[in-house]
Structure 1
């Protein structure tokens, strides 16, 4: 979910109880250093990774399991 650009960190926290910093630590440990740097560059400041920065009115998909 963290790798996907449109999944906000808040959804990850809601579903798995992991805060953004926890997700970063997991990604740092699981990815190659170059992949982690590429991911951090891609998601830092990205409006879709934070609900508060998203444009209002975007419908967010929720799994039936939530």
Structure 2
């Protein structure tokens, strides 16, 4: 865990541990909540303009005909 938190690449850690595949080592990444928390803190949510959906008259007519 400390190697991941220090920024060592997952494939390097897999080699050091003798894992046949980095997929085996990937479980350590899934278990590290602190690493996930830092990653989420480093990104910003996209700027979105929220609007209310307004269906067209043609769509409303189609739905009423169902």
Coarse TM-score class (shorter-chain normalised): 0.3 to 0.5
Highest CA radius of gyration, 1 or 2? 2
Q: Which has the higher contact order (CA 8 A, sep 6+)?
A: 1
Task: Name the one with the larger helix percent.
Answer: 2
